[in-house]
Structure formats: C-alpha cells, structure tokens
Structure 1
Amino acid sequence: MVVRALSFGAVAEAYERFRPGYPVELLDLVTAYAGAPIRTALEIGAGTGKATRLFAQGGIAVTATDPDAAMLAELRKHLPANVTTVQAAFEDLPTDSSYELVYSAAALHWTNPEGRWARMATLVRPGGVFASFGGPVELADPALKEAARAARAPYLETDGVPSPDGTPADRPMQWPGTELEQSDWFTDVRQSVIERHLTMSAHDYIGQLSTISAYVMLPAADRDQVFRRILQVLPETVEINAEITAHLARRHH
C-alpha cells in the first residue's frame, strides 16, 4: 500500500497536466458548511496542488503536505504566495498546530486507518471543519466504458480504488462519511455530490489514466499495451463524467 501511495512521484508532471482541477463550487460548498470565513487550512496528500490552488485562491493560508518530493516540486511551480509546503506523510505530521480546515483531495485512502480520526482531531480546531473529496473520472458513454474495460481486462481486472471500509456502492453514505459518523471527534457529517462533465481528447483521457495507481503499478510494457488497446476502441474525443463526492464534518467543541 505504501509503495502504491508513493508511486505518483514518477508521474508528477503527467498528474499536473492531465488530472482535472477542482471547480469553485467545491470551495463554495466547504465555505458555506463552515459558516464563517476560513483563514487557515492543512491539506493532506496535496500532490501537485490541484486542490491547493482552489483553496489558496479563496484567500486561505494553506499548509500543503505530501510525502512525495517530486509531487511537491511540481506543486511549487504553480504556487500562490499564501501556501506553505511540508514534505511529510499524514502519520508524521506534527500535531502542535491546529487549523480551521483540514482537507484531503483524493488522497485520504492512502492514510493509515490505525488512529486516523484521533490524529485528525488533533489537527482540526474545535468547531473547525474536516473535508474529503474526490471521485473517478469515467467515460460517460456506457458502451465505450464497456469497450475500454474489455480492452484492459487481460492486464487489469479493475482500475478503481475499492471502498476502504468495504461500504457497498449502493449505500447512501459512502466512505469516509461512514467512519466519520462513528467517530467520537466529529459531528454533522454530510455527503454532497458536485456534478461535472468534461470533454477531452482520447489521448488526454489516456494521460489521465496514466496517473492512476492501478496503471502506474503495471510493468511498463503491459502499461503501454493496455493504453494502446484502450485507444483503439475510443473515438478522437470522449465525454467524461467526473463528478466529485465531498464529505464534510465538524470537529466537536
């Protein structure tokens, strides 16, 4: 699992180039939930800073943390002045500072479940907000989705990240909301979905896939073969469903 979490450094530039950024609706959602201006935030698993930019543009002083030096080097190329970077895994972060907002964009599943919420609670100020958000970037057309799945199948059974706590996909509350609801430190757990539809070239879609850990972990020859096979079944331009599921919770006073 650790190997997989650190596999992104090798693809930091592709990650920056191909992963979609986050829409302003997400900042609005978190701000509205907070109910007061957010001045300080800690980001867990910042990567190349896709979400960092959104929150920094909202005037928030962000401390962006990531265990991977290559990811942070890429992040620093695009950095607003109100961002501090710290190279550290969530488990190694000092707990002597707390923040009005602690958030993680598509990275929380890489953190160690052991003591996760107790540690999180030391980082979020009482009354402060925890937010987690992300979601798969998927082909919108079911027929194309199936064709791509069949093309990849000999090499890769699934390319998704399974639910970390095994919550079935049809349950109304998904992870990490499920864990937050059971935590002693957090309350008022909410799940929201922000619809998002994108159009991109098939090549950019493959570029996006090249940043997903399931593909990163394949031997290079297999990976090239998979991408070639998927490209063969796609038209030049593809419609993408990239909805974002956000989970919000408040730290008990």
Structure 2
Amino acid sequence: MSTRALSFGAIAEAYERFRPGYPEELFELVAAYAGRPLRTALEIGAGTGKATRLFAGHGVAVTATDPDAAMLAELRRTAPAHVTAVRAAFEELRPDGGPRDLVYAAAALHWTRPRGRWPRVAALLEPGGVFASFGGPVQLADPAVEEAVRAARAPFLASDEVPSPDGTAPDRPMQWPGTELRRSPLFGDVRQAVVGRRLTMSAREYVGYLSTVSAYLQLPEPVRRKAYDAVAGALPGTVEVTADLVVHLARRRPG
C-alpha cells in the first residue's frame, strides 16, 4: 500500500465528516446481483466505515479492514456490534475465519497492490461469492464554477483526479476494475452499473471534502492551505455536486 494511501489517517475526522455516505440503492444493487442472502462480508480499506454501516445495517456480518489505526478508531465509534474491525492492509489478509459471501471495496481498491490482487480476493470468497467495488469523484455540477475552481487551484495543483490504475480511457464503456476482472480466469459475470447521486454542499463543506482528497494531502502544508483558500474564494455560498457511484460486480468462479 502506497504512502499516498496511508495519508488519510491524519484526517480521519474530516473524512468521516465531509465524505458522502452510501445510499440504500447501492446495497439493493449488490444484493440483487448476489441473488442469495449476504450473511458475511469482508471490506477492503474500510476507512471510517461509511460503507461498513450500509452493509452492516442490513444484517451483514462485516469484517472491516484498514491499515490505518486512526481510520479504524473512527469506524469503531459508529459501527454496529456485529462489525469486526481488523487493522491490516489488503496484502496482509489471509482467509482466516472461512470464505465470505461478499468481498467489497469502497473507493479503496486503487490503493491495493496490482500483483496478485485477484487471487487474493478470490481466496477470501466462497465459490459463487460476490466481489463489489464502487466509488467515484465528487464533482462540481456547474461548469462555470468548476472552471473557476480549476483556475484558482492551478498555481498549487494541476489536477486532483485519480487516474485509472490500468490506463483505461474515461470514455471506454467498461472502466477499471471491470477491465481487469474480465481478464481474470477467477471471476465471471462481470458487470458495471452507475448509482446516480446529486448533492448540495456549502462552500465550507466542499473545501472540507477537498481536505480528504489525496492529491491535496500530498502538498506541503503551507501550499495546501493556500490551495484551499484559493478554492474557497472561487466558490459561491452553496454548490451542487455530482457524486455518481460507478459499481463493478463479479462472481468468483467455482474451483
């Protein structure tokens, strides 16, 4: 796991406060794809437990894993009693406790090491079990506001986007990790879906969200503060954002 991935721990409280949660439609999509009860799950890179609470709220016994102690401290504060929190990077996980019905990652899979990724996931799943990955950027809906923010940010940060891990162009019909899953002999029935979200945030909340984005966290602290101030100065009091979730689903093949 990269240093950039581990940068989130220092801002765990902000992550919990400013990152959007996950909607019921997401659980319904995963459950419908599974086609059978989801009793047990393992979560990769659980962070402060935004997705943990969604799945656990439907009675799923979630083992929530994350390498960062500060993130897990926030998760334990709000997680239901049937959630087990484990401090571990994905690469350190072993199939102890038996295979799960579901393994999922919420805006975290791109931080995992590519080599051996899919054999590791498959080892954590029972045959026919479901893998799900979901996430997406929070983007300003008004093009004029987006352009003003881009210009204000430019002296400090050229882009705050996370590029596709395998270089898939954004206009391709199948995005990563679906591209990798389709190439893996361990998984089948690979699907991609979108859960639409449109949210309203105050300017302060939007800058708070940016304070959890890894591209900003990699800037030296004085530069980061200047970038936040510049963005805040370009924003109206309230902004509309799109926060669509791109969901990838796959099923572990038998054997």
Question: What range is the shorter-chain TM-score in?
Answer: over 0.9
Letter in 2 for 1:217: Q
Other-structure match for 1:2: 2
Question: Cα distance, 1:95 vs. partner?
Answer: 2.3
Deviation track 1:100-149 (CA, whole Å, cap 9, x = no partner) reads 00000000000000010011110111000000000000100011111111
Other-structure match for 2:195: 194
Other-structure match for 1:22: 22
TM-score by length of 2: 0.98
- Equivalents in 2 of 1:124, 1:94: separation in Å? 11
1:222 aligns with 2:223: yes
What is the correspondence of 1:66-215 to structure 2 with a 5 Å cutoff?
66-96=66-96, 97-215=98-216
- Equivalents in 1 of 2:48, 2:116: separation in Å? 26
Deviation track 1:157-214 (CA, whole Å, cap 9, x = no partner) reads 1101000000000000000000000001000000000110000100000000000100
- Equivalents in 1 of 2:185, 2:90: separation in Å? 20
Q: Could you say what secondary structure the match of 2:78 adopts?
A: coil
- Equivalents in 1 of 2:165, 2:2: separation in Å? 14
Other-structure match for 2:62: 62
- Equivalents in 1 of 2:250, 2:94: separation in Å? 22
- Equivalents in 1 of 2:124, 2:147: separation in Å? 42
Q: Could you say what secondary structure the match of 1:77 adopts?
A: helix
Letter in 2 for 1:236: G
- Equivalents in 2 of 1:83, 1:226: separation in Å? 38
Where structure 2 has 5 or more consecutive residues not aligned to the other structure, the ranges are none
- Equivalents in 2 of 1:11, 1:181: separation in Å? 35
Question: Cα distance, 1:93 vs. partner?
Answer: 0.6
Other-structure match for 2:247: 246
- Equivalents in 1 of 2:137, 2:196: separation in Å? 12
Q: Could you say what secondary structure the match of 2:33 adopts?
A: helix
- Equivalents in 2 of 1:2, 1:235: separation in Å? 35
Q: Could you say what secondary structure the match of 1:102 adopts?
A: strand
- Equivalents in 1 of 2:56, 2:211: separation in Å? 27
Letter in 2 for 1:33: Y
Identity among equivalent positions (%) equals: 68
Q: Could you say what secondary structure the match of 2:7 adopts?
A: coil
Other-structure match for 2:48: 48
- Equivalents in 2 of 1:146, 1:95: separation in Å? 47
Letter in 2 for 1:20: P
Q: Could you say what secondary structure the match of 2:38 adopts?
A: coil
Q: Cα RMSD between the aligned structures? A: 0.7
| Number of residue pairs matched by the alignment | 253
Letter in 1 for 2:56: A
- Equivalents in 2 of 1:20, 1:84: separation in Å? 22
Question: Cα distance, 1:98 vs. partner?
Answer: 1.3
Question: Cα distance, 1:3 vs. partner?
Answer: 0.8
TM-score by length of 1: 0.99
Question: Cα distance, 1:155 vs. partner?
Answer: 1.1
Question: Cα distance, 1:81 vs. partner?
Answer: 1.1
Question: Cα distance, 1:60 vs. partner?
Answer: 0.2
Q: Could you say what secondary structure the match of 1:189 adopts?
A: strand
Letter in 2 for 1:82: H
Q: Could you say what secondary structure the match of 2:74 adopts?
A: helix
**4+ residue stretches of structure 1 with deviation over 4 A?**
none
